[in-house]
Amino acid sequence: MNSLIFKTATRYLVPVLLVFAIHLLLRGHNAPGGGFAGGLVAAGGYTLYALAFGVTAGRRTLRVSPECLAGGGLLLAVISAFASLFAGKAFMTALWFKIPMPGPGYLKLGTPFFFDLGVFAVVAGVVLLFVFSLMEVKE
């Protein structure tokens, strides 16, 4: 698309969409959102960029192929799901890790976050694979 207004708006909207996707990912454990919704919003941002500047520019901006993104996300989700079995607990039982932080307190990370991160990557990768493939057929 050769609209100057669309290209200019896209340059401002894509970072906002990606930050909102991360926000949805991080708040999804205790509120609506999570990996699925965040992955859709992130894919929407890259789709908007590909519509404005072309599929080649969209793929270059993504920096990793959608297939690798989806495969890596699936691997991360499966590893986080099976981690509890290696710890001697039931399948998909949450495991939490405390990471000391500078100052008072610590960061608490767990397998649910890594599972959501994997779902985020799978959804974004699959949607972008579909969108980029359909846009390349059009060209």
Q: How many domains, the chain? A: 1
Q: Which domain holds residue 36?
A: 4-138
- Can you give the pLDDT at residue 138? 66
Q: What is the pTM of this model?
A: 0.91
Q: Which residues contact 97 (CB under 8 A, 6 or more apart)?
A: 108, 109, 110
Checking if the pLDDT of 104 tops 90, the result is: no
Q: Which pLDDT band holds residue 120 (cuts at 50, 70, 90)?
A: very high
Q: Which of 37, 31, 35, 41 is nearest to 113 (CA)?
A: 35
Q: Which pLDDT band holds residue 139 (cuts at 50, 70, 90)?
A: low
CA 80 to chain centre: 16
Q: Which pLDDT band holds residue 32 (cuts at 50, 70, 90)?
A: confident
Checking if the pLDDT of 29 tops 80, the result is: no
Listed range (4-13, 61-70, 98-107) with the worst mean pLDDT: 98-107
Q: How far apart are CA 89 and CA 114, in angstroms?
A: 17
Checking if the pLDDT of 125 tops 90, the result is: yes
- Percentage, residues of the chain above pLDDT 70: 97
Checking if the pLDDT of 74 tops 90, the result is: yes
